[in-house]
Amino acid sequence: MTALDLSSPVAVVGTGTMGQGIAQVALVAGHPVRLYDAVPDRAREAAAAIGARLDRLVEKGRLTAADRDAARARLRPADDLAELADCALVVEAVLERLDVKQELFRALEDVVSPDCLLATNTSSLSVTAIGGALSHPGRFVGLHFFNPAPLLPLVEVVSGFATDVTSATRAYETARAWGKTPVACADTPGFIVNRIARPFYAEAFAVYEAQAADPATIDAVLRESGGFRMGAFELTDLIGQDVNESVTHSVWQSFFQDVRFTPSLAQRRLVESGRLGRKTGRGWYDHREGAEHPEPHSAEKRQPPAYVVAEGDLGPASELLAMIREAGIQVREEDEDNGSRLVLPGGGQLALADGQTSVEFRDVVYFDLALDYRKATRIALSASQDTGARTVSEATGLFQALGKDVSLIGDVPGMIVARTVARIIDLAHDAVAKGVATEEDVDTAMRLGVNYPLGPFEWSRRLGRTWACSVLDDLHQRDPSGRYAPSLALYRHSFATEKREGAS
């Protein structure tokens, strides 16, 4: 099954931001495009807005004047659904209400030909439920574009329970022919991106609710240590707190209030207060003109230790040993079977975040996971009230000697980056095991859909296949609510690996 021929008209119903963006994508790809909106004159206004954006593309040298004129000639507003009768594909981008979408597609079935592909751009509703209202649901598919549709490459091609393979394949190939990067997924709450991305927000909010760190510090650690493009607080301010919370709530409800997707009470209070982010001027941050952006916590300058004793290889943080030597600090290595850590001159210990807490041990400081310890510009450290001042000082000075800003946070298990990445990896394994998507498509979706530095399976291979399960096991012991319990898929993956390695 191939992509739609460029001579085939494409219709977009709903002319808001997403509808206009999808229409522009199809138009620039070469299709005749029909625009329809139930509100009178809205389609004409949308056509004018798309024309203006085409003008800007010409000004920027991304489109020739001749191609712009040809695209404008192919764009036509429609006053009635009947004008969509000759379309080979109709994409819906209307209000996120099941009854509204079902009513629209029932009306479209009476208008379009039997072989017309029908698609919804829903981000939160069940594709199966929308298609359930149709007489012929086999031709119904989800085409979830990301905003802004002309710029972002990812399209989730969602097969409902009744979607024919030929329909899903045609939608997939058409999206690819439009210059997008499609990924195939089954109809599950949140699809790929909005399902697997929940921990990125949830864990940041949980650290904040535990009063372990402020939003600016958490965001800085996620960016400067974790390698994420934006932190959770600044990203949700950009998305809109109401929008982000609505998606979280929808996924949580759709999974029968699964504790792994529990919404944040702190975010709920923010929404209730009307602080929705950039669009209202205030969210987690104050975006009003002249407002100062809070700085992340950065520890005062401390003296580095003269030496460290390395017990074990530090696992995912093993690169630190070479970096410490390069900084002129002596590394004495000792083989130990009871873990990997650095012992500081004062007798205190420095260990990679593992889901345990500092208060459980004598004089231990934890340091957070980093995407790349050489490139990271900030490292988070956590200690309890019982951790010695000398140990905290030596640990701080050590990372400062490596050229890092150091953020001291509260004694929370898994810290910030480690717990976030472990949970993302777990949800990814769970999704693949349940047939939602392939490992490759999950990685592609998370890199392109939310700009993650690595896909979850890329993270897993880099960190070691047992790492995430081990961190989550430790977290689960300290919070037995089920939120951090490793999925059966991750457990099987980790156990099978351990068994094979043990037998070799």
User: What positions carry a catalytic annotation?
Assistant: 123, 144, 156, 194
Element containing residue 475 per DSSP (H, E): helix 467-478
Between CA 35 and CA 14 the distance in angstroms is 8
**Cα gap 16→42, rounded to integer Å:** 9
Cβ atoms within 10 Å, residue 430: 18
Q: What's the rounded Cα separation, in Å, for the pair 279 and 435? A: 37
Angle, CA of 337, 332 and 392, to the nearest 5°: 85
| DSSP assignment string, 411-449 | --TTTTHHHHHHHHHHHHHHHHHTTS--HHHHHHHHHHH
Distance in angstroms (rounded) separating the CA atoms of residues 97 and 221 = 37
> Which amino acid, one-letter code, is at 488?
L
* Helices (H), ranges, 178-318: 193-196, 198-209, 215-224, 232-239, 241-254, 265-272
| 384 and 361 Cβ atoms separated by less than 8 Å | no
Q: Please state, as a whole number, how many other Cβ atoms lie within 10 Å of the Cβ of residue 147.
A: 13
Closest CA to 9 of 95, 111, 144, 96: 111
- Cis peptide before 77, with omega less than 30 degrees from 0? no
Alpha-carbon gap, residue 301 to 282, rounded angstroms? 33
Residues recorded for the chain:
504
Give the CA radius of gyration of the chain: 26
What b/e sequence results for 61-90 when a residue is b if at least 16 CB atoms lie within 10 Å of its CB, and e otherwise? eebeeeebeebeebbbbbeebebbbebbbb
Between CA 235 and CA 449 the distance in angstroms is 13
| Residue 481 burial by Cβ neighbours in a 10 Å radius (0-12, 13-18, 19+) | exposed
